[in-house]
Each structure stands twice: as C-alpha cells, then as structure tokens.
Structure 1
Amino acid sequence: MFTSFARRERRSNGGLYLRRLMLDGRRKSMVPKAERLGVDHQRLRQFITSSTWDHVAVRRRLAQRAVSVVAPQACVLDDTGHLKGR
C-alpha cells in the first residue's frame, strides 16, 4: 500500500498502522494496538499526525488491490462522505 512513500521508515510505519487496524480487539486506540505489535505507540501516532504523505496515492493503491481481490460487479458512490456545497 505504501510503495509511493520515498522513505523506508514511512513505508514500515504505514504497514504497522494497517496491521494495527486489522488486529483483534475492541479498542483501536494507539497504545493497546502498539503493545500488541510490540512497538512504541508514539511511532504510530507520529505516522498519522505528523507525517506528510499523499493519501491519494495510498487510496489509489488500496482501491486497485481491493478490486483485484473482490472483483466487484458494480460500484456505488456514496456522496454522504463528500463535502457539500455552501
């Protein structure tokens, strides 16, 4: 998912963050998930809050991977997640 990141550390932290989201457990907060991964929670927090990375490339790669796995028959646009005009 993070091949577009120039720095190896960001690619690694991105992978950790995705694994954190997919782990079992009810709480998705940084500290309990970082403990399950065996890493410092600040490393994950910095990836999300301080890193400057282009989310468009990551979303594009994620969408391509999802389409190749799921092979959808149709797509639906849910406009409730988009900003409304003023």
Structure 2
Amino acid sequence: MRRHPETIWRAAPGFVALARPGGEILTVTGPAAGLWELLEQGTTPAEAAEVLAGRHGATVDVVLADLEPLWDRLRAEGLLDG
C-alpha cells in the first residue's frame, strides 16, 4: 500500500494531519505518525511494524496490534492506494 495521490497532508515530528479533498481531517500523533513516512514508498502492515518497532524499541507484535486500527482507518477514509 501507498499514500493515495489525492491525499492532502502536513507533517511535523510525531504528528501528521491527513485528508482527502472535501473529507474530514485525520490526525495521527506519536510513533504511529511514522507510518505515513513509510507509506511514501509503499509498505505492508507487517513491514511497517518491523521498522517502527526498531525505531521505538518495541516488539513487532505490539506495534502491529497498535497499527491495525490506524491502517483500517486510513483504508476506510480512502487515504491509501493499492
């Protein structure tokens, strides 16, 4: 999966705000905000969890469980492509 090309976004360290034109703004904070960076090149939930776990000293299983609701929300809002 990748970022949907029509997604409007702004990011700062530990924060990202995302929306499709005319849609609601979704804000993500903390370590999960790093997912948006990884989606630039394309990633899977498992790959993203592995990278973010390494960055933040957590286990892959914990990060994957934390990312699943966000991943589902990004898909539901049409913010992902693929």
TM-score (norm 2): 0.33
Counting strand residues as a fraction of each chain, which structure ranks higher?
2
Greater RCO structure (CA 8 Å; 6+ sep): 2
Larger Rg: 1
Counting helix residues as a fraction of each chain, which structure ranks higher?
1
